[in-house]
């Protein structure tokens, strides 16, 4: 399977109900096809500094922000491909560059840091790790995803994420999927990903259903939730 390694696109997010997701998928059924992974589990291991510099900066909603993660799809085995990804956002445009690792390369990455090769993305990842000292796995987030692309435009994609959970321990892509939910039961995170302007039929679909984009960061929500839990634990210990 050939993997795309460079992306430049807009990613528009909508928090919808399960009923809305089913209705939208039915409406688009003759316009979309499943992507290479179709329905799958997605695991993302986010890296950060000990002070959580990257996610704290992201939550400030700056004009430019960046993050790094390891990601895999489906149940992990010795044939699983792991993507080492730098994701940047500037003025609402997302830029993503990634390299593909096998299991041995992933374990080496976790132990020794990124490869220092001649590939441009490898060099970029190495520079990223030098810029942000002491980057370590900080949060593991997983979800159940349905992914599609438009029949006449493979740069137009739709993803539907359900049962998004996180944990800040047992930070291994090889472990089972479990954790604390970041959404209410029955909610679905829909993303529309487009390399250019949205087609008119997509704009009409969203407008007619009164669906409006909103800011949603899986890692951001997970980080805030851990802060709230820590605050509650301290208050409980103090008897407040």
Q: pLDDT digits over 79-120, tens only?
A: 899 999 999 999 989 999 999 999 999 999 999 999 877 889
Domain span at residue 132 reads 6-238
The answer to whether the beta carbons of residues 35 and 148 sit under 8 Å apart is yes
Rounded Cα gap, residues 139 and 127, in angstroms: 21
pLDDT recorded at residue 182: 95
Token representation of residue 66: 């960046």
Is 155 among the domain residues?
A: yes
Is 1 among the domain residues?
A: no
In sequence order, which ranges of 61-199 are alpha helices (DSSP H)?
103-112, 120-131
Strands (DSSP E) contained in the chain are 6-17, 32-48, 64-73, 82-90, 93-101, 136-150, 153-167, 180-181, 187-194
Report the CATH number at residue 101: 3.20.100.30
E strand or H helix that includes residue 231: helix 218-238
Is 198 among the domain residues?
A: yes
Total domains present in the chain: 1
CA angle 198, 201, 203 (to 5 degrees): 55
Q: pLDDT digits over 185-227, tens only?
A: 999 999 999 998 999 999 999 999 999 999 999 999 999 999 9
Is 135 among the domain residues?
A: yes
| For residue 1, pLDDT beyond 90 | no
Mean pLDDT for 232-238 is 68
Is 63 among the domain residues?
A: yes
pLDDT recorded at residue 232: 72
Does this model's pTM top 0.75? My answer is: yes
Q: Which residues, at least 6 apart from 130, have a Cβ–Cβ distance to it below 8 Å?
A: none
- What integer best gives the mean pLDDT of the chain? 93
């Amino acid at each position: 399977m050939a993997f795309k390694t460079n992306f430049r696109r807009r990613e528009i997010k909508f928090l919808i109900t399960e009923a809305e997701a089913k209705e939208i998928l039915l409406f688009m059924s003759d316009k979309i096809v499943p992507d290479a992974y179709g329905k799958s589990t997605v695991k993302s291991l986010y890296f950060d500094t000990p002070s959580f510099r990257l996610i704290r900066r992201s939550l400030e909603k700056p004009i430019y922000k960046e993050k790094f993660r390891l990601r895999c799809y489906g149940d992990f085995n010795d044939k699983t491909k792991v993507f080492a990804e730098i994701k940047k956002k500037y003025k609402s445009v997302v830029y993503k560059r990634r390299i593909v690792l096998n299991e041995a390369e992933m374990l080496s990455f976790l132990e020794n840091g990124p490869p220092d090769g001649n590939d441009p993305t490898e060099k970029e990842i190495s520079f990223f790790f030098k810029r942000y000292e002491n980057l370590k796995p900080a949060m593991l987030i997983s979800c159940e995803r349905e992914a599609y692309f438009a029949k006449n435009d493979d740069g137009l994609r739709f993803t539907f994420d359900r049962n998004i959970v996180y944990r800040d321990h047992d930070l291994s892509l090889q472990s089972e999927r479990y954790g604390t939910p970041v959404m209410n039961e029955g909610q679905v995170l829909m993303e529309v990903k487009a390399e250019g302007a949205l087609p008119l039929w997509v704009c009409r679909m969203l407008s007619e259903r009164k669906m409006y984009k909103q800011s949603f960061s899986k890692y951001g929500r997970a980080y805030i939730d851990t802060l709230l839990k820590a605050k509650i634990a301290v208050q409980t210990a103090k008897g407040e």
